[in-house]
Structure 1
Amino acid sequence: MRGKFIVVEGLEGAGKSSVIQLLVDCIEAAGHRCVTTREPGGTAMAEAIRECVKQPWDETVAQETELMLMYAARRQLLINKIFPALNDNVWVVGDRHELSSQAYQGGGRQIDAEIMATLSQITLKGFKPDLTLYLDVTPETGLQRARGRGELDRIEQEGMAFFKRTRERYLELAASDDTIITIDTMRSMELVHRDVIARIKAFLEC
């Protein structure tokens, strides 16, 4: 038996944390062991890369540098945590995965698709989540919610145009992949959570 890999995606302020906990509760209630991860991060080395990516620097951070760090952290997480868990029949719920890079660096940063595809092949070798829940929120609302949590990191301080391009890429990718489910988080939390529960229960019954 092999575990399943479920990912929660979305812009800042989309409500990923509460949805992740909801998924874990549903999965465990169905009798499966479950662990959570986050990207970038999830292992000692990947967390160090996260700090490198997130903090402000007194120098220009090249877009390609940011992108390669994201994929390097992702590879470390896969090898050290995700693959071992799945092979031990443990379900993994991830706070972000490759869709984030495709949206933020591919869409927001507008990095060439060929570069993105090459890095993806090197690090993931075709591996992808069994299910992705993309929590859709407008950049205006999401960033307002994020500011309410405290100080924004280096990427969260990008301009509105960056986040609009990121959201557009998220929506484009979600529409082209039937393993990605879009959930409107501009509604009340009760309705969002009801939708999430229905989606994960349908997946568990497959």
Structure 2
Amino acid sequence: MKPGYLITLEGPEGAGKSTQIGLLEEALVSRGYSVLRSYEPGGGNALTKKIRELLLSRDNVGMCEETELFLMLAARVEHVKKLILPALCEGKIVICDRFIDSSLAYQGYGRGLPLKIISDMNQFAIRGRYPDLTLILDVSSEVGLERAKKKAGLDRIEMEKLDFHHRVRDGFLQLSEEGEQYYLVDATREVGKIHLEILGRVLKLVGA
């Protein structure tokens, strides 16, 4: 059986990842691909969803940076071992809303934790299975947060100060230059144009 592909969508708050993942999933399924759509933190099972609630609840404002990182990693271990790796073994295309680069951007660049330590812990958590393609959707912190405010309400991380979100965005931009597996997307454009660019890059990867 042909091995599957792991595609991750990353970016700052309000970049439109969820919208683009939905469009990408629909386009791939219509072309006959078997697709698994997931997200972090919280994808996988009931345990990871409880961890997500802890991480995003506004009741937990003031959580230690290290605690935040360890909770993210705990959810990732469950997610990768029980959902992502089995799906890849079945030859599926896995599309994930956030993955290891969010830990580097948020807990590393944003919170100031050591990038090397986060990278090493990520490698252990994902069992060395890195994404085949990481699409980084870029939008300014101001625009992204304004979009996020239109939802039901800001979560614990979204309500951080603007300086934090600037550091996170800068982190994603730096990560986008670290290898061919990264692809930077201007997320300020019309949704349909962004989708066509993303779809073209993904089809190039899977050989369509």
Same topology, TM > 0.5:
yes
Q: Which residue of 1 aligns with 2:23?
A: 22
Q: Secondary structure at the match of 2:69?
A: helix
Pick aligned residue for 1:79 from 72, 77, 81:
81
Output the amino acid matched with 1:171.
L
Contact 1:103-1:170 within 8 A present in 2 as well: yes
Which consecutive unaligned segments of at least 5 residues does structure 2 have?
none
In 2: Cα distance, 1:132 partner to 1:117 partner: 16
Output the amino acid matched with 2:10.
E
TM-score, normalised by the number of residues in structure 1 = 0.94
Q: Name the CA shift for 1:70/1:38 in 2 (closer, same or farther; >3 Å).
A: same
Q: Which residue of 2 aligns with 1:5?
A: 6
Q: Secondary structure at the match of 1:142?
A: helix
Q: Between Structure 1 and Structure 2, how many residues are aligned? A: 206
Structure 1, 37-46 or 52-61: larger mean CA deviation: 52-61
In 2: Cα distance, 1:7 partner to 1:149 partner: 23
Contact 2:3-2:88 within 8 A present in 1 as well: yes
Q: Secondary structure at the match of 1:176?
A: coil
Q: Which residue of 2 aligns with 1:91?
A: 93
Identity of aligned residues (%): 37
Q: Secondary structure at the match of 2:137?
A: strand
In 2: Cα distance, 1:92 partner to 1:201 partner: 14
Contact 1:136-1:186 within 8 A present in 2 as well: yes
Q: Which residue of 1 aligns with 2:130?
A: 128
> Residue 197 of structure 1: CA displacement?
2.2
In 1: Cα distance, 2:120 partner to 2:13 partner: 27
CA RMSD between the two structures: 1.5
Which consecutive unaligned segments of at least 5 residues does structure 1 have?
none
Written as runs of structure 1 = structure 2, the 5 A alignment for 1:133-172 is: 133-172=135-174
> Residue 173 of structure 1: CA displacement?
0.7
Q: Which residue of 2 aligns with 1:205?
A: 207
Q: Which residue of 2 aligns with 1:60?
A: 62
In 2: Cα distance, 1:193 partner to 1:187 partner: 10
Runs of 4+ in 1 over 4 A off after TM superposition: none
Residues 113-136 of structure 1: CA deviation (Å, up to 9, x unaligned): 232133223312322111111100
Q: Name the CA shift for 1:26/1:50 in 2 (closer, same or farther; >3 Å).
A: same
